[in-house]
Amino acid sequence: MPADDVFEIIAPAQWTAPLVFNSPHSGNVLPDDLLSLSRLDASNLQLSQDCFVDELFGGCIAVGAPMLRALLSRSYIDLNREPYELDPRMFLEELPRHFNSTSPRVTCGLGTLPRIVAEGQDIYRGRIPLSVALARIERAYHPYHRALAALLNEAHQATGRVLLVDCHSMPSSAVSEIQGHRERSVDVVLGDRFGASADAEITAVAEDCLSAAGLRVVRNRPYAGGFSTENHGRPQLGRHALQIEINRNLYLDEGRQQKTADFAGLKQLLDTLCQR
């Protein structure tokens, strides 16, 4: 699988900001080797997609920062996981012992190769060969993460610091899981691994900008940051990572997966955030 089928790097005319934006879950390409094994149709396979998130954060280009965006559907491979975070219930063979088969994400069916889509539906008709997973990891996962690491290294070498902004959306149903805020919808969750992946002032800038626009913002619950945030956030080395989760009901008809009239206003706000 060529790299240009896996991801796209949208680069500014001149890279001037020490920022890299990453959208690992906005892809919608469903390769034949998924469709041939799946019990679901194409529309159901897209239920876990972070629809239009790459567009929402596209203002990063105008401020001189690149975006890495996935082209492949999240149901095919989840690029915000460890490389071998796999569910043993999915495969015909026993998994190698060094694979991570016990993480909370795997337990929920949301490993590197997801077992389910967001609505809890099983993706596959039955167990699949482990070779399917290994091929996807080799052809898609590793090239994507090499590209992300190269972008971050380039920015860091130029300025001595870099911020990875990991861009996501969350289903509106997820807000009911956020303890202490059930009385009012949560609009944005900022994940900095409880301060371990980014300096506090970076998270505060994002929180202040979004809160000033009237959005309800919380930190780290229930999303503290996935693999990319954890892997690349090293504040002591000048490498920061912040995950931003946007409630889909702010911009999306979740049933039809179509933009609502509020999309443009939210994008304008996120354009402003990119400028901070």
d(CA 57, CA 163): 15
* pLDDT over 70 percentage in the chain: 96
Question: HSE of 42 in the Cβ direction (CA atoms, 13 Å)?
Answer: 7
pLDDT in tens, 75-96: 999 999 999 999 999 999 999 9
CA dihedral 138, 141, 146, 152 (to 10 degrees): -170
Q: Give backbone dihedrals phi and psi of 33, rounded to 5 degrees, phi first.
A: -75, -5
Q: Give backbone dihedrals phi and psi of 57, rounded to 5 degrees, phi first.
A: -100, 15
pLDDT of residue 132: 98
pLDDT of residue 1: 60
Q: What is the 3-state secondary structure (H, E, C) of 20-39?
A: EEEECCCCCECCHHHHCCEC
Q: Is the peptide bond before 222 cis (omega within 30 degrees of 0)?
A: yes
Q: What is the mean pLDDT of each run of 10 residues along the chain (276 residues)?
A: 84 97 98 97 95 98 98 98 98 97 96 93 98 98 98 96 98 68 78 98 98 97 96 98 98 95 98 94
pLDDT of residue 180: 52
pLDDT of residue 247: 97
d(CA 223, CA 256): 25
pLDDT in tens, 175-210: 765 555 555 689 999 999 999 999 999 999 999 999
How far from each other are the two terminal CA atoms of the chain, in whole angstroms? 37
Residue 254 buriedness (CB in 10 A; 0-12 / 13-18 / 19+): middle
pLDDT of residue 118: 82
- Domains in the chain with CATH codes: 3-274 (3.40.630.40)
Q: Where are the alpha helices (DSSP H) in 9-97?
A: 32-35, 42-45, 53-56
Using alpha carbons, list the distances in angstroms from residue 232 to 93, 169, 229, 241.
Answer: 32, 20, 6, 6
Strands in 7-10's sheet, in edge-to-edge order, are 7-10, 67-70, 19-23, 162-170, 239-247, 188-191, 217-219
d(CA 52, CA 266): 12
Question: In the chain, helix, strand, coil percent, each to 5?
Answer: 35, 20, 45
The pTM for the full model equals 0.95
User: What single DSSP character describes residue 174?
Assistant: G
pLDDT of residue 119: 78
Which residues share a beta bridge with 233? none
pLDDT of residue 22: 99
**Residue written as token pair 């043993």:** 88
Question: HSE of 84 in the Cβ direction (CA atoms, 13 Å)?
Answer: 10
pLDDT of residue 26: 97
- Written as six digits, the tokens of 71 are 């082209």
pLDDT of residue 276: 84
